Amino acid sequence: MEQMTEKSKMTARNVSVFYGDKRAIDNVSIDVDMENVTAFIGPSGCGKSTFLRTLNRMNDTVASARVEGEITLDGEDIYASSMDVVQLRARVGMVFQKPNPFPKSIYENVAYGPRIHGLASNKADMDVIVEQSLRKAGLWDEVKDRLSDSGTALSGGQQQRLCIARAIAVDPEVILMDEPCSALDPIATAKIEELIHELRGRYAIVIVTHNMQQAARVSQRTAFFHLGNLVEYGETSEIFTNPRQERTKDYITGRYG
Amino acid sequence: MEQMTEKSKMTARNVSVFYGDKRAIDNVSIDVDMENVTAFIGPSGCGKSTFLRTLNRMNDTVASARVEGEITLDGEDIYASSMDVVQLRARVGMVFQKPNPFPKSIYENVAYGPRIHGLASNKADMDVIVEQSLRKAGLWDEVKDRLSDSGTALSGGQQQRLCIARAIAVDPEVILMDEPCSALDPIATAKIEELIHELRGRYAIVIVTHNMQQAARVSQRTAFFHLGNLVEYGETSEIFTNPRQERTKDYITGRYG
Amino acid sequence: GDEAGSGASGARDQIKVVGSSTLYPFTTAVAEKFVTNNPRFKAAVVESTGTGAGMKLFCAGVGANHPDIENASRRIKKSEFEDCQKNGVKDIVEIQIGIDGLALIEAKNGPKMALTTADIYKAIAANPYGKPNTAKTWKDVNPALPAVAIQVYGPPSTSGTRDSLAELILEKGCDANPEMKALKSQDADKHKDICTKVREDGAYIESGENDNLIVQKLTANPNAIGVLGYSFLEENLASVTGVKINNVAPTYATIADFSYPGARALYIYVKGAHLNAIPGLKEFLGEYASAWNPDGYLAKRGLIASPDAVRAANAEVATKLTFMNGSDLK
Amino acid sequence: MLALLFLVLGLGLIAWVTARMRAARFGGTGTARAHSLPAYHGWYVGLWTALPALIFLGIWATVSPGLITQAVLATPAAADLPAFGMERSAILSEARALANGSIQTAFNPQANALAPAYAQAITKYGVIGTILALVLAFAGGAYAFTRIKPDFRARTRVERLVMAALLVASLVAILTTVGIVASLLFESVRFFSMVSPVEFLFGTKWSPPASNMPASSGAFGAIPLFWGTIFIGAIIAMLVAIPLGLMSAIYLTQYAKPSTRSWMKPILEILAGVPTVVYGYFAALTVAPALRDFAVSIGISGASSESALAAGIVMGVMIIPFVSSMADDSIAAVPQAMRDGSLAMGATPSETIRKVLLPAALPGVVGGVLLAVSRAIGETMIVVMAAGLAANMTANPFASVTTVTTQIVQLLTGDQEFDSAKTLAAFALGLVLFVITLLLNIVALRVVKKYREAYE
Amino acid sequence: MSKAMTVEAPLPTIRAARKPTDWKTDAMQRRITRRYAAERRFKLMGLGAVLISVAFLAFLLITMLGNGARGFTQTEIRLPVDFPRAAMILDPAALKGPHAEVALATADIEGATTAAAVAAFGPAGADYISDSAWLKVRDAIRDDPSVLARKVEIDVPAATAIDLAAKGKGEPPAEAIYKRLNVEGRVSTGFNATFLTSADSTDPTRVGIWGALKGSLLTMFVTLLLAFPVGVLAAIYLEEYAPRNRWTDLIEVSINNLAAVPSIIFGLLGLAVFLNFMHLPRSAALVGGTTLALMTMPVIVIAGRNAIKSVPPSIRDAALGIGASPVQVVFHHVLPLALPGILTGTIIGMARALGETAPLLMIGMRAFIATPPGGIADPATVLPVQIFLWSDEVSRGFVEKTSAAIIVLLVFLLTMNGLAIYLRNKFEQRW
Ligand SMILES: Nc1ncnc2c1ncn2[C@@H]1O[C@H](COP(=O)(O)OP(=O)(O)OP(=O)(O)O)[C@@H](O)[C@H]1O
Ligand SMILES: Nc1ncnc2c1ncn2[C@@H]1O[C@H](COP(=O)(O)OP(=O)(O)OP(=O)(O)O)[C@@H](O)[C@H]1O
Ligand SMILES: [Mg+2]
Ligand SMILES: [Mg+2]
């Protein structure tokens, strides 16, 4: 927890999250930067998703959820009343566990965000945004001839890349991914992992995974959560080869695959 | 497939299972005996559950399912018209992936089977059966003071042991378990695995798992399924250290954790 | 309760009455009085089915499942009578219980119109004297009348009151024209069509019978005229008044002596075969006969007593229980 | 009879107990144990004892009165009964009532004479019936009792009976449908033999002839009725119900606090629980006059106090909970992931609802609206009480129109001859109504189902 | 660990085409303000829709309550009756014997009552009291024959006009009379017990809802007796056992369709089948109940199926897995768990049947029945039909009685719906 640097894109300080009376996240501090992909790992129910969702205030939609502590984006407190949630979410994009394209055309899926935020003043601009986003998500070549097909008609892996394209289209600064591959087959998973590599550096990326191999493959930093606590946070290579905490070690060496 | 011995409790010969026109199990022959715990492993959708359920005719409840080939229990064809399914299922018990206690008291959960089969003629007999079953399932000490609490109020691992107790209570000869630990946390999983060790020898046990470590830990024999075929069946130690088939090896060494 | 052989559903100890909604208030009143006066009998069941449906039920047969009395706001038709005969309802007692006045009414603050049957005919007939009706206001019909839009709330074509309107007012207005009168003997159907068909362009507004709503509508819309039973007029004298026809205002007296055009006789039909089988049926008829006098309680409910001679004749029928022969039916 | 019934049931109970006890003695454990629990053997024997006897009693109850009456008629006392049916049966039934003591005195003196004969016959046939029932009970019981052995599959037999009962219960639905179709079709065919279906379905003039007019002078074009029905039920009512229902559903599911929702939703549902006769009364006495006054005050002449608007608005209100719960279901069926996906893009809740949830839920909503329409056009009491009888083809909501259901009630309760085309028309209208709602429902259910599957 | 997969693909051309979004620009801020305004508008529209709906309900209930509350009260006039002077041919001794009723019936109590009213209030006095006022006098005699020797004061119902005047709805002449009587202390307005205990009548001061209510209860009894078992059994069959074939499809389609068939068509069915074909007694609760049962059954089937469906399959697997037979699975496990849901659906279906009018009009329950039905084969009417009948009555006194009957009906329905909601909330289970 001592790697907090000045170049952090997002910082969390002493964050606790409650669902009603139940504490799901306990006093977690963490930094996310642009250079490194950060992975959150930990056993099921440890609070990875909960914490991830506090980063773009998606937890606001859960009536019982309550966040304590401070989270900043570029130094601005995102829970301050002056913070506009709508803009925050445009700047901190999110990709979910199960691919969730809208039941609209592929084009409309990608154009949705730019349209509601007014990022394109005309059709031509929009076309550019859609193409760029699909390209960045590595999906352009596969779908360029059928942009008007429904987004739900794509394969699972394509859908997930479409969701990434959709998130990219609003030009976010941070991308949060909550187990983006857990619903995908190995080939699609490999494609997404590749994509994360490509996107690194352009966006601050946080990825939740319960698959340690995956964390090892895609991330530079890893945070290990357990029972709502951040047990250990550091260089991925170090965490996996030389964990400092007993709990981390137990989990990594995993008697339980 | 050559280990078929005379002491087999259950044998399957050239069993194929169809869902409508779709063949889910293709020409599988296998033997199950009392001494060894048999594990079925294989990637998702390969037909492990399907095959397991043919062993106590739980597939009868699926309208589209159709079984070909011969399966015997103590030499009796279980698909013969003279076979009474209800008695068959009493002799071949089943434990499911998700613990599914009845929303009744713990006592009633265990007593239900003996009651419908008329195994106890009075309350005292029933008490004995309930206690013995719970003891065998390693649950007695934890619940003996609250037998009238609802079975659903137990923790996941306790619920699963309750389900095992419930299966044991009707005095079965074979116990089938379909991924009995996949919904459980590691500690509960460990308890169930221990339990399987203890039960071995008293019952013929078949366990489906997608967790190879688990298969290695609990079973003496392993059957590897792939796309409805029984690819390899043999001593667990051999399968894991020295698989004969390429497909088995690929799976065991698992690029996909 | 078919043949005596089955005998299972043998008898009924309750009088059953079906039929017209016009007679409903009268018959229910009699029924109520009947039990209070004769506690040993059970209260009659009076169902308002409409004359036609009631007649169908009445004529369907004899036995406990079939009603004993039919309330009719018109005379039984020949076809219905034959239907009765066919189903074994051979003996029928026909009793005229009184008169129902059809009254034209308007709101108290209305234009105080005085009409003739011809005015009414010309105003609401579909094709007065064979030509399409173009009249918009009463003035178009008769220059002496005010220039008030023609708006008449009246009974629907399914109702017996409508038959009376056609027969008692429209046809008379129509026959005021000698040509039409002549037509009657040449082509009766055509005559009926021209004389009784009511316009359907909105000037005549079909409304439910027995409907307090018409009264409310008239108070809300003072220029409209309503056609309804005299009892409604009597009950609502505070808010509406009668419209004079041929210079006669609708009152109890003018309707009773048929000088107000729009009076019709009301009947009940009783099954001869049930007279001995249903306890209290004869006594019930006696109660009816005692109630239909001008000072009887039915008068309070709006029934207009028949002329003395008719009453006497029918009272005799009600006690002697003579059966009708049906030869003079139409 | 009642005593006999209890006797048979008692026998059944005894059979149940003894068979159960006998089966319990089979004992045995493991594979050697009896196939079925003792209780099933009990049920098997009990049912064999009671059921045939009960069925016999049912038949006997319908047959024996006839036998008794015949016996009585054969006695000399019956010779001077009136020949005619109704009176005769009245006397007979009174005699019977005297005989079994349900009345003390008779209206007909003749009944007194017959009563003893009746009493005798009743006793005689009572004894016969009792003996037969008991023989059946014992025979059935004995047969079943001999069959119970350890390996006898009593449970299978008993369960087969249960299954048969279940199947019969579900066949009631088909019977009802057949009954509806048959009863409507039979009278409709008669109607269409008098009036051509083409005229009925496509004619634009509805004026059933008054009874004193020749039948040919009327017109049975039902288009104005269909129009009135659609105008009130599908247009005005939906103009009220769709926006209010849909927006209520959206508010309650998406915006309202769960606590608010938990009491607000039941309150809305009350609207669906209010009986239609109350709505009708309310529409006729409160809403219609108010609307009329309003129309007159803004200068609409010819405003009817039986306006289409009054009936339509009240019907719309009645339908609100229906639309809102269908919309609620459809919106809830859109996966939460859609909503999260949109919110995570920075869309506001209303944008999410309008651009993602509603389009996704649209088929469900449309299906729901179709169901609501089918309910509205079949609704009777509101229009009977509040809509007019004038078959107008008008789009003026303040004018009066009439509907199919209003006319059915009117035609069947009017003063006309019953077998005329007029009353038969009611059945033809009923048939049309049935067919239309059937089609609407089939389409709606298809739409809803298809769309549900899209997410499952 | 695995850095091997890194692929540098910067896409330079495209990157240049798009500048990073500046969220702080004025245009962007304005846009956001606008979007939030739209958001508020939309939310307000939703709230508005809810409020309008609730307001309508409140308006309806308040209107009914306002009109109907008066129906539960009745104005009575204290009528002095001087029996010795009334010269009734009534022997107090006869009132003890078995022929008391006949004796009471033949004595001209009505005339005596009218005479008493005339004596007390002048020539128009007879119009002050209700037509059925003499019944009270008769009851007074029956209760205590000794009054025949005395002069007593008996509370009799006032005529409708006076009653309305007492409730502030009267017309000037009646109001004047009421004022006069009030000054004399002869009138009182109190709870109208008759309304809850007697049956239909032609006299609004004498009507009651008990007859119709009893008819409704009998009808509901028949409906429940038929619809509940059939509905539940059919639901079990369809959901648990039915093979998927054309027959079950047909059953399923019929049930879904029956649930949506307009109620009046069930009336036509009842008319054609139960009355014209099976010759069951007309106007009887038996026929009404059976007709409504056919209507309610599909509702119960559908609710039942949903409830059964929501019992998790794992419970069935568990029971099957230890050797329970399919019938045991259902009756030991599924049905008990589904019961709250089935009951909720049943209550809702029954509530709908209780409020139903149209089909009953077709099968003759639209009748004047002055005595409460004794059994299911007796002629009966039901509350909603009674309301419909009264709404058509000529006499003005029926207006408030209609609303009062509506209140009674609503109380029943709201209780039933409330019970259903309570059950649903209490037993709503998620597995
Ligand atoms: N909406 C909610 N209301 C109440 N409790 C919740 C809610 N969502 C999550 N929780 C609880 O908060 C804790 C953390 O949940 P969370 O979903 O963040 O875990 P996770 O690490 O993402 O697990 P997984 O790997 O299974 O996704 C859990 O105990 C969970 O039960
Ligand atoms: N009820 C069913 N109807 C039709 N197809 C089915 C049904 N159940 C399973 N299948 C199909 O049969 C195949 C084998 O399924 P099965 O559930 O036996 O796999 P499994 O090995 O148990 O997988 P998992 O590890 O995911 O449980 C799959 O392709 C599945 O889609
Ligand atoms: Mg998670
Ligand atoms: Mg499986």
Mean pLDDT of D266-290: 88
Closest atom of ligand 1 relative to the A40 alpha carbon: 21
Continuous H helices in D195-335:
197-202, 223-229, 237-250, 258-273, 276-282, 288-297, 308-333
Give buried/exposed letters for A218-240 (b at 16+ CB in 10 A, else e).
bbbbbbbbbebbbbbbbebeebb
Mean pLDDT of E257-276: 88
Reported confidence tier of residue C8, pLDDT bands at 50, 70, 90: very low
Distance from Cα A63 to the centre of ligand 1, integer Å? 14
Mean pLDDT of E280-301: 91
- Work out the burial of residue D303: count CB atoms within 10 Å of its CB; fewer than 13 is exposed, 13-18 middle, 19 or more buried: buried
Q: Could you give the dihedral angle defined by the CA atoms of residues D336, D341, D347 and D351, in that order, rounded to the nearest 10 degrees?
A: -50
On the question of pLDDT at D1 being above 70, the answer is no
Q: For the ranges A201-205, D171-175, E141-145, which has the lowest average pLDDT?
A: E141-145
Nearest CB neighbour to C220, from listed D69, D88, D305: D305
- Identify the CA nearest to E354 among candidates E386, E378, E332: E386
Q: For the ranges B101-105, C191-195, D243-247, which has the lowest average pLDDT?
A: C191-195
- Identify the CA nearest to A182 among candidates A162, A219, A157: A157
Provide the terminal-to-terminal Cα distance of chain A, rounded to the nearest Å. 27
CATH of A8-252, one of 3.40.1160.10, 3.90.1530.10, 3.40.50.150, 3.40.50.300: 3.40.50.300
What's the CA gap between D424 and C178, in Å, rounded? Answer: 38
CB atoms within 10 A of CB D301: 11
Reported confidence tier of residue D166, pLDDT bands at 50, 70, 90: very high
Mean pLDDT of C285-299: 88
pLDDT in tens, B185-198: 777 888 889 889 98
C20 to chain D: which residues are within 8 Å by CB? 415
- Name the closest residue on chain B to residue D25, using Cα atoms: B121
Give buried/exposed letters for D261-291 (b at 16+ CB in 10 A, else e).
beebbbebbbbbbbbbbbbbbbbbbbbbbeb
Q: What is the pLDDT of residue D452?
A: 61
On the question of pLDDT at C11 being above 80, the answer is no
- Residue of A23, A40, A50, A66 best suited for mutating to test ligand 1, as the one with most atoms within 8 Å of CB: A50
Q: What is the pLDDT of residue D107?
A: 63
Q: What is the pLDDT of residue E379?
A: 86
Q: For the ranges A181-190, D14-23, D364-373, which has the lowest average pLDDT?
A: A181-190
What is the full DSSP assignment across E47-99? Answer: HHHHHHHHHHHHHHHHHHHHHHGGGGEEEEEEEEEEHHHH-----GGGGTSTT
Contact D338 A103 (CB under 8 A): yes
Of residues D215 and C14, which shows the higher confidence score?
C14
**pLDDT > 70: what percent of chain D?**
89
Which helix (DSSP H) or strand (DSSP E) does residue A175 occupy? strand A174-178
On the question of pLDDT at E79 being above 80, the answer is yes
Residue found by looking up tokens 């006397």 in the block: D91
pLDDT in tens, C131-186: 888 888 899 888 988 888 888 888 877 777 787 788 888 888 888 888 888 887 88
Mean pLDDT of D76-102: 70
Of residues C239 and D35, which shows the higher confidence score?
C239
On the question of pLDDT at C116 being above 70, the answer is yes
Q: What is the pLDDT of residue C4?
A: 33
Taking the Cβ of residue D347 and every Cβ of chain A, the question of whether any pair is shorter than 8 Å is answered with: yes
Ligand 1: does its nearest atom lie under 6 Å from the Cβ of A19? yes
On the question of pLDDT at D266 being above 80, the answer is yes
Q: Helix or strand or coil: residue D440?
A: helix
Which range scores top for mean pLDDT: C124-128, D109-113, E394-398?
Answer: C124-128
Provide the terminal-to-terminal Cα distance of chain D, rounded to the nearest Å. 57
Of residues D59 and C13, which shows the higher confidence score?
D59
Q: What is the pLDDT of residue D399?
A: 82
What's the CA gap between C243 and C260, in Å, rounded? Answer: 10
Which helix (DSSP H) or strand (DSSP E) does residue B13 occupy? strand B10-19
Taking the Cβ of residue A127 and every Cβ of chain E, the question of whether any pair is shorter than 8 Å is answered with: no
Most D-contacting residue of A100, A162, A206 (CB-CB within 10 A), to test interface: A100
Q: What is the pLDDT of residue B242?
A: 84
Reported confidence tier of residue D415, pLDDT bands at 50, 70, 90: low
Q: At what angle do helices D38-74 and D85-99 cross, to 10 degrees?
A: 120
pTM of the model: 0.84
Taking the Cβ of residue E315 and every Cβ of chain B, the question of whether any pair is shorter than 8 Å is answered with: yes
What's the CA gap between A6 and A11, in Å, rounded? Answer: 10
On the question of pLDDT at E14 being above 50, the answer is no
Q: Supply the mean pLDDT for chain D.
A: 84
pLDDT in tens, E418-430: 888 888 877 765 5
C43 to chain E: which residues are within 8 Å by CB? 369-371
Reported confidence tier of residue D453, pLDDT bands at 50, 70, 90: low
pLDDT in tens, E90-142: 777 777 777 777 777 777 788 888 888 888 888 888 888 888 888 888 888 88
Q: What is the pLDDT of residue D85?
A: 62
Mean pLDDT of D292-319: 84
**D257 in Cβ contact with D237 (< 8 Å):** no
Within its chain, how far is the Cα of E429 from the centroid? 30
Q: Angle at the Cα of B254 (from B248 to B257), degrees rounded to 5?
A: 140
B257 to chain E: which residues are within 8 Å by CB? none
pLDDT in tens, D116-161: 888 888 888 889 888 999 999 999 989 888 888 877 888 888 889 9
Of residues D215 and B17, which shows the higher confidence score?
B17
Q: What is the pLDDT of residue A254?
A: 52
Pairing of strands E151-157, D219-220: unpaired
Distance from Cα B42 to the centre of ligand 4, integer Å? 10
Q: What is the pLDDT of residue D105?
A: 63
ipTM value: 0.82
Mean pLDDT of B18-41: 91
On the question of pLDDT at C198 being above 80, the answer is yes
Contact B121 D24 (CB under 8 A): yes
Q: What is the DSSP letter of C322?
A: P
What's the CA gap between E144 and D259, in Å, rounded? Answer: 60
Residue segments in chain A with a per-residue pLDDT below the cut of 70: 1-7, 253-257
What's the CA gap between E129 and E77, in Å, rounded? Answer: 7
On the question of pLDDT at D280 being above 60, the answer is yes
Q: Residue ranges per domain, chain B? A: 8-252
On the question of pLDDT at E12 being above 70, the answer is no
C34 to chain E: which residues are within 8 Å by CB? none
Q: What is the pLDDT of residue C101?
A: 82
Within its chain, how far is the Cα of D185 from the centroid? 18
On the question of pLDDT at D27 being above 70, the answer is no
Reported confidence tier of residue D302, pLDDT bands at 50, 70, 90: low
Of residues D214 and C232, which shows the higher confidence score?
C232
Q: What is the pLDDT of residue B253?
A: 64
What's the CA gap between A147 and A101, in Å, rounded? Answer: 13
Q: Helix or strand or coil: residue C177?
A: coil
Q: What is the pLDDT of residue B79?
A: 92
Reported confidence tier of residue B53, pLDDT bands at 50, 70, 90: very high
CB atoms within 10 A of CB E23: 17
Q: Supply the mean pLDDT for chain E.
A: 85
Ligand 2: does its nearest atom lie under 6 Å from the Cβ of B50? yes
Q: What is the pLDDT of residue C210?
A: 52
Q: What is the pLDDT of residue D451?
A: 66
- Name the closest residue on chain B to residue A213, using Cα atoms: B257
On the question of pLDDT at D31 being above 50, the answer is no
- Identify the CA nearest to C301 among candidates C110, C16, C8, C30: C30
Q: What is the pLDDT of residue A206?
A: 95
CB atoms within 10 A of CB D383: 32
Q: Helix or strand or coil: residue B15?
A: strand
Taking the Cβ of residue E244 and every Cβ of chain B, the question of whether any pair is shorter than 8 Å is answered with: yes
Domains, chain D: 2-152 (no CATH), 206-454 (1.10.3720.10)
Of residues E56 and D84, which shows the higher confidence score?
E56
Q: At what angle do helices E210-236 and E383-391 cross, to 10 degrees?
A: 130
- For residue E261, give Cα distances in angstroms to D35, D180, D273, D326, E255: 47, 10, 18, 18, 10
Tokens linked to E305: 């199926």
What's the CA gap between E49 and E199, in Å, rounded? Answer: 42
